[in-house]
């Protein structure tokens, strides 16, 4: 990707050279009204919501991969979250609970395979027992439906092999393949007249001044290496690359995306009977990530994890995936050093468990003692687009940004959509669509 100053200083002649590859020509009247950059679940859900609201507008999704939902959407745990953990009154809490209900309605209407298998959040000691009531109170304030406190002798009624001192039962927590949901959103978008362009990696934005009408804005040229698409407005939902696209339109570098890989173990097929529902730990506020848990999949597999280790590439799904550019960017970012210093020992333990995965089984045995290291094997991994500020603090809420100048003022960047973004996707789409309608006066 080009640096901001190079992109914004492209001459009219350069734009004209790229013009011949532009979809539908270069006149302002033929430009798209809105182009969404990013074919993950947030981009596709928002595209669907926008075209439902504005069926006469011309819209397109551009995605750099050859399929949709290639990265975070296609590599997550597949859990439909109920909204228990989040601060009451926060945007995450509101959008998760709203998105939960919208998601189940959509699954049923469109025959998308899913299951409401529930979730146990299990306390293992006296200190965690004290947190159960606080967590239950938080979930109740968030309007999470049908929560129950489960005493020690009743835990086995919900998960026969599970051990603990006390638990919360969330019956509305479920499982689904979010990549399937994302592609269903995209199909809806296409049926309503939207277009989708794959293999389109955005490298910059320029104004097509030669196409400017007397009373019209010059179209923004959304450029890849081989073609460009003219549009009046742009929304970026680029996940792992969201900060880079934001910088292209004059936004600040912060918050910076730092990739953290979450690696899962798989429970062997002959041991799947050990777990029938989601089993989660009590969150530890000292650490930035939740911790390992048991997650049944819609395919019948049981995923165990994830851990959280720094990845050496934004799309680094293994220790052997190394991207020099990504590493240099991380090395220059002071926020990462501050984060690593703050969590040095836990970070080292996560790396050790990643390399010697049987060590991770000890954490799992706290919940289901019958699991042994012989019962598991290495499984898939995902990469979390973790936004960090300059002080090394994890950005835990939604971040939207606009750039500068005549281009930046017509681009909205979704720079951070943290978990539970998939569950919240339809509610997030409504929120973003409201913002687009308000900011761009659609």
Each domain of the chain, given as residue ranges in start order, spans: 4-71+179-255+397-440, 259-387
pLDDT at 215: 53
pTM above 0.85, yes or no: yes
SS (H, E, C) 169-193: EECCCEEECHHHHHHHHHHHHHHCC
Tell me which residue of 200, 196, 246 sits closest to 385, measured CA to CA: 246
Q: Which residues contact 309 (CB under 8 A, 6 or more apart)?
A: 260, 261, 263, 347, 350, 351, 354
Between CA 98 and CA 95 the distance in angstroms is 5
Does this chain's domain 4-71+179-255+397-440 share its CATH topology with 259-387? no
C-alpha span between 36 and 187 (Å, rounded): 15
C-alpha 144/C-alpha 310 separation (Å) is 32
- CB contact at 8 A, 289 and 308: yes
Q: Using CB atoms within 10 Å of the CB of residue 6, give its burial: 0 to 12 exposed, 13 to 18 middle, 19+ buried.
A: exposed
User: Nearest-5° angle of CA 114, CA 117, CA 123?
Assistant: 140
Query: CA gyration radius for the chain?
Result: 23
Tell which CATH architecture fits domain 259-387: 2-Layer Sandwich (3.30)
Q: Which sign, positive or negative, has the C-alpha torsion 399, 264, 114, 191?
A: positive
pLDDT per residue rounded down to tens, the chain (442 residues) = 433 333 333 333 334 444 445 654 444 456 899 999 999 999 999 999 999 999 999 999 999 999 999 999 999 999 999 999 999 999 999 999 999 999 999 999 999 999 999 999 999 999 999 999 999 999 999 999 999 999 999 999 999 999 999 999 999 999 999 999 999 999 999 999 999 999 999 999 999 876 555 556 789 999 999 999 999 999 999 999 999 999 999 999 999 999 999 999 999 999 999 999 999 999 886 676 778 899 999 999 999 999 999 999 999 999 999 999 999 999 999 999 999 999 999 899 999 999 999 999 999 999 999 999 999 999 999 999 999 999 999 998 889 999 888 999 999 999 999 889 999 999 999 999 999 999 999 8
pLDDT of residue 341: 93
Q: CA–CA separation, 171 vs 144, rounded Å?
A: 10
Peptide bond into 141 cis (omega under 30): no
pLDDT at 5: 37
Say if strands 79-80 and 174-176 run parallel, antiparallel, or are unpaired.
Answer: antiparallel
What does CATH list as the number for 4-71+179-255+397-440?
Answer: 3.50.50.60
Q: CA triplet 347, 237, 241: central angle to 5 degrees? A: 45
d(CA 115, CA 296): 10
């Amino acid at each position: 990707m080009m640096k901001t100053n190079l992109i914004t200083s492209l001459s009219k002649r350069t734009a004209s050279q790229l013009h011949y590859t532009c979809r539908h020509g270069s006149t302002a009247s033929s430009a798209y009204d809105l182009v969404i950059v990013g074919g993950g679940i947030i981009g596709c859900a928002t595209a669907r919501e926008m075209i439902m609201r504005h069926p006469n507008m011309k819209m397109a999704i551009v995605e750099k991969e050859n399929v949709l939902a290639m990265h975070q959407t296609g590599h997550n745990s597949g859990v439909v979250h109920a909204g228990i953990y989040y601060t009451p009154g926060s945007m995450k809490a509101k959008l998760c609970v709203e998105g939960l209900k919208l998601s189940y309605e959509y699954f049923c209407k469109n025959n998308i395979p899913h299951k409401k298998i529930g979730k146990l959040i299990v306390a293992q000691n006296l200190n965690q027992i004290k947190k159960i009531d606080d967590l239950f109170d938080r979930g109740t304030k968030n309007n999470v439906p049908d929560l129950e406190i489960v005493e020690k002798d009743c835990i086995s009624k919900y998960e026969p092999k599970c051990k603990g001192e006390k638990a919360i039962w969330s019956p509305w927590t479920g499982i689904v393949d979010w990549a399937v949901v994302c592609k269903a959103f995209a199909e809806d978008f296409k049926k309503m007249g939207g277009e989708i362009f794959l293999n389109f990696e955005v490298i910059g934005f320029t104004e097509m001044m030669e196409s400017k009408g007397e009373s019209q804005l010059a179209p923004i040229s959304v450029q890849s290496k081989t073609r460009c698409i003219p549009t009046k407005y742009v929304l970026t939902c680029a996940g792992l690359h969201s900060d880079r696209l934001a910088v292209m339109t004059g936004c600040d570098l912060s918050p910076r995306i730092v990739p953290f890989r979450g690696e899962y173990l798989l429970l062997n097929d002959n041991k799947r009977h050990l777990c029938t529902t989601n089993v989660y730990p009590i969150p530890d506020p000292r650490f930035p990530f939740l911790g390992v848990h048991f997650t049944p999949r819609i395919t019948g597999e049981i995923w165990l994890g994830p851990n959280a280790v720094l990845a050496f590439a934004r799309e680094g799904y293994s220790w052997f995936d190394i991207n020099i550019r990504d590493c240099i960017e991380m090395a220059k970012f002071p926020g990462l050093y501050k984060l690593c210093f703050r969590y040095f020992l836990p970070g080292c333990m996560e790396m050790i468990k990643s390399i010697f995965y049987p060590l991770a089984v000890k954490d799992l045995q706290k919940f289901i003692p019958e699991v042994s290291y012989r019962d598991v094997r290495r499984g898939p991994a995902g990469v979390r687009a973790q936004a960090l500020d300059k002080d090394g603090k994890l950005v835990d809420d939604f971040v939207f940004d606009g750039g500068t100048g005549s281009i930046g003022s017509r681009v909205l960047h979704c720079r951070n959509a943290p978990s539970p973004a998939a569950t919240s996707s339809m509610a997030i789409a409504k929120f973003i669509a409201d913002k687009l309608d308000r900011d761009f006066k659609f």
